[in-house]
Structure 1
Amino acid sequence: MTEDQITYNQSDRSYSSNVSVDSFSSLRPKEWELYKSFLEKQSFARSVFVWILSVVEIPIMLFSLYALCCLIKSQRTASVFVIHLILSDLIQLICVILMTWERTFMLLAAYLYTVIVGVYFMAFVAFERYLLVSHPIWHKTHQTLKSSCLISLIIWFVPLIFGSIRPPDLYFEFLWVSVALWIPYPVIILCFVGTWRGLSHAISLTPQKRRMILGTLFLVMLSYTFIILPYSIVCLFNHITDDKFWLNLSFQKVYRFVRCLLRLNPLADCLLYLFMRTDAADLLPSLHCCRRSDTHQISVRYTTRTTQPSS
């Protein structure tokens, strides 16, 4: 029975220190049956959730990647970071789909690797928007397509700093995952506040462009706060607690719920495409004011016709 118990948790606990056998032996038979039943139901629900989510997210991500690649022709360097962000999200989704069949350490490491990469690309999207507002001349002269590609290449190697390579696998402990996810958060907040203040001095930007830039940063900060940050907190809490607390059903439910929120991160990142479009500021208000504008046009036409002098 001990081997069966370990197989339920060896892919969920930390890669370097799995749940010990003594922790399982401390469970009573009824507690172990409830714990086993919960894991079986959760595994089925997770598979259904992942497949439903993949049907929605994959077409949206492929469309966003194609549309953002088209924006490269107009020298929009920020779209380079968004392209790599959505590409990392696509790899995340592929790893999650493969884990519905078999959960291996390599797939879990690849998933966490792309999660960390995506978070740092989110930070660079926010930082690029800040430079566009606060230092527009420097941004125009230094932020080129080649420099954006070079920075993106460096970001793909950042997660190796927080992982430990034990050939042939790559391992991420919960502590270092939490640290890696916490670092970009102050950068995103500072960029949002700095951009908010800088927009009041940006005379050359139109009001529509200002709303588009601020909307990009707000979406990045919102998705990070409610999707990435809870998972980082749970990882840190998981590191400082013992194995017995890990086997608590209440903690397991919270941990599973936070992981489901993390699955929604690729869908939130795809919404950045709307704010990277040149006509996004015109597109979004038209969706809400379509009927009002049509009614206004009809009334204007009617009044112009009635006021025309008769020949």
Structure 2
Amino acid sequence: MEDVYISISLDGSFNTNNVTFSFSDDTGVFFIRDVLTYIIVSIGLPLTLLAIYALYLLVRNDHVAPIYVINLLITDLFQLCCMIVWLTRDKNLLVTVIFIGIYDHCMGASVCFMVCIILYYRYLVIAHPLWYRFRRTIKSSVAICVVAWVLPVVIVLFPSVIPYFFLLPFPLFIFFLVGTVRALCASISVPSDEKRRIVGTLVLVLLIYTLLFLPYIILILIVGISHLSGLALLPVLLSPLADLLLYVFMKKGIIDKFLASVCCCRMDSNDINGEREREIKDRDDTETVIY
């Protein structure tokens, strides 16, 4: 990111801090990146705006979970805007530095909100429902979002911490996924379709992070920022489109049929026979995990 983003994301060469990066010979890489960027922006921008509006309608005093997904999509919105600026090939140094900083910050914030989604949106509501029930307020959610927006400032001010900042959430994702699956296996009050959607959301977030962010982080640790190829950024550019799938997992309907066929979460025969009765009886207990 930082210096590398300046060289890769613009016209192939740029000089900053007495270090020159040049990728002008990789015309094929830049052509692929530009085509990919046009596709991502044209598809992602309108869909992201629609998803943010739809999720905003879900936010109520007793339904605060979509707040974290909304903020994740807002970070994607800023990233898409930065991509539009890159396509203009602006040569102004100040404009370049500002939008590189915004993009880096929003990438860090998107990872922070991924952690929030898995922790507050899934893990706590399943593994520690009583703790979550008494703390699921708009005020606490807003405070967490503020922290998630402020924390990535460190990667803009200190570029050397970039790989460690992005690598830290990986063990957290694994821990929360395992903990949530264990809690779901012991739960008899959560309907089977909700179990599948919960596990599906966790797996989706982990896949987005593993396939799009983790390879870039590993490359930074192995070869260093200044030796990265322009191809290393291509998976990261896809993150705004991948995050839109989280909105799909919040809606009931076709996704439930797909997850049912995959059988992400198996139910006991007793749970199948008594699902409807328990759903009515435990409606208050399961309200925090039903959208």
Equivalent residue, structure 2, for 1:113: 105
Q: CA deviation at 1:285?
A: 4.0
Worse overlay, 95-104 or 176-185: 95-104
**Distance in 1 between the 2:256 and 2:116 partners?**
27
Q: Which amino acid aligns with 1:182?
A: L
Match of 1:261 among 235, 251, 257: 235
Match of 2:202 among 209, 217, 226: 217
**Distance in 2 between the 1:49 and 1:193 partners?**
35
Q: Does 1:37 align with 2:25?
A: yes
1:148-186 deviation line (CA, Å, top 9, x unaligned): 11110111100122332xxxxxxx52x311111111111
Equivalent residue, structure 1, for 2:217: 232
**Distance in 1 between the 2:259 and 2:219 partners?**
38
Change (3 A) 1:82 1:37: same
8 Å contact 1:9–1:18 — kept in the other structure?
Answer: no
Equivalent residue, structure 2, for 1:306: none
Q: Larger RCO: Structure 1 or Structure 2 (Cα < 8 Å, ≥ 6 residues apart)?
A: 2
Change (3 A) 1:188 1:16: farther
**Distance in 2 between the 1:148 and 1:160 partners?**
20
8 Å contact 2:44–2:240 — kept in the other structure?
Answer: yes
Equivalent residue, structure 2, for 1:31: none
**Distance in 1 between the 2:243 and 2:171 partners?**
19
The two structures have a TM-score, normalised by structure 2, of 0.77
**Distance in 2 between the 1:157 and 1:180 partners?**
13
Q: CA deviation at 1:74?
A: 6.8
Q: CA deviation at 1:132?
A: 0.8
Q: CA deviation at 1:105?
A: 2.0
Q: CA deviation at 1:112?
A: 0.8
Equivalent residue, structure 1, for 2:154: 161
Change (3 A) 1:198 1:16: farther
Q: CA deviation at 1:110?
A: 1.0
Runs ≥4 in structure 1, deviation > 6 angstroms? Answer: none
1:84-138 deviation line (CA, Å, top 9, x unaligned): 0000011011111101222612211111110000001001100111001101111
Q: Which amino acid aligns with 1:272?
A: L
Change (3 A) 1:108 1:238: farther
Match of 1:151 among 120, 140, 144: 144
Q: Which amino acid aligns with 1:87?
A: I
**Distance in 2 between the 1:264 and 1:75 partners?**
33
1:27-48 deviation line (CA, Å, top 9, x unaligned): xxxxxxxx6332x443333222
Q: Does 1:81 align with 2:82?
A: no
**Distance in 1 between the 2:201 and 2:176 partners?**
11
Count of paired positions = 244
Equivalent residue, structure 1, for 2:163: 178
Equivalent residue, structure 1, for 2:19: 18
Q: Secondary structure at the match of 1:204?
A: coil
Equivalent residue, structure 2, for 1:200: 185
Equivalent residue, structure 1, for 2:173: 188
Tell me the C-alpha RMSD between the 2 structures.
2.4
Give 5+ residue unaligned stretches, structure 2. Answer: 1-10, 261-291
Q: CA deviation at 1:288?
A: 9.2
8 Å contact 1:163–1:176 — kept in the other structure?
Answer: no
1:197-221 deviation line (CA, Å, top 9, x unaligned): 1101222111111111111101000
Q: Does 1:68 align with 2:27?
A: no
Q: CA deviation at 1:9?
A: 3.3
Give 5+ residue unaligned stretches, structure 1. Answer: 1-6, 25-34, 165-171, 290-311
Q: Which amino acid aligns with 2:20?
A: V
Equivalent residue, structure 1, for 2:267: none
**Distance in 2 between the 1:144 and 1:8 partners?**
47
8 Å contact 2:61–2:137 — kept in the other structure?
Answer: no
8 Å contact 2:118–2:173 — kept in the other structure?
Answer: yes
**Distance in 2 between the 1:66 and 1:157 partners?**
24
Q: Secondary structure at the match of 1:176?
A: helix
Change (3 A) 1:17 1:274: farther
Change (3 A) 1:230 1:287: closer
